[in-house]
Amino acid sequence: MDARDFVIVGYGGIGSGVLEQILQCAEVEKVVVLSRSAHRHADARVQFRQGDVRCAESLAHVFAEVSSPCCVINTIGLLHGDNILPEKRLADVRKEALLRSIEVNTYSTIALAQAIEQNFSRKQAVSLVALSARVGSIGDNRLGGWLSYRVSKAALNMAIRSVSVEWRRTRPLNVIVAYHPGTVDTGLSQPFQGSVPEGKLFSREQAGNYLLDVINQLEADDSGSFKAWDGSDIAW
């Protein structure tokens, strides 16, 4: 992957971590960060844009600032917050929480894929990497629970797989991949870190480094795959 420009959607723990790793690459020319809040960065290559991933106009403004080949990284995700908690059993599932999880964890990447089609020609190479989670793997689900999060991430994985099939026909230069970052020391994982095995809780810097390593190794044949932080493939 020889992207010179990057778009990062979300500026939470993983978003900020991957930004700092990207900036260590001398060949990177520009990084545009789409965030709901205003931010600044000392590096002149970084441009923050305040907006909403669900807004086509916001995405059009962001994509107008980058050149192909580029890589778009969707780092936003919802596990808890706003009266949403991971469900321990079926009886805990609420429609509002499920739909909100799908909006954030699934639809955001679909909106980005649509915006890529609307703002880049078929001759421009664009990679889209979306943060998924191993708990979204149907084949790997042996514990149950966390229904809204699991369902929304499984739906994300299916969306990525379906887009990859379409893009192989219509946009063969594009790559779309689901990515599991492991457990990262962020607000999303904080309430659940007690059960994480020693050595498996990654810092933001580690998470950014692992993600960038995987991105740098992506090839056209990887489109539609589900990658783990170490580059291995995860069962759907």
Of the ranges 10-14, 28-32, 197-201, which one carries the lowest mean pLDDT score? 197-201
Q: What is the pLDDT of residue 142?
A: 84
User: What band does 194 get if pLDDT is binned at 50, 70 and 90?
Assistant: low
Kindly state the DSSP code that residue 188 receives in the 8-state scheme.
T
pLDDT at 52 over 80: yes
Taking residue 102's Cβ as centre, other Cβ atoms within 10 Å add up to: 18
What is the C-alpha to C-alpha distance for residues 27 and 182, in angstroms, rounded to an integer? 27
Distance CA 25, CA 92 (A): 46
Q: What is the pLDDT of residues 64-74, one digit of tens each?
A: 999 999 999 99
Tell me if the pTM is above 0.75.
Answer: yes
**In terms of pLDDT, which residue wins out, 136 or 13?**
136
Q: Is 10 within 8 Å of 75 (Cβ atoms)?
A: yes
139: closest CA among 236, 227, 225, 233? 236
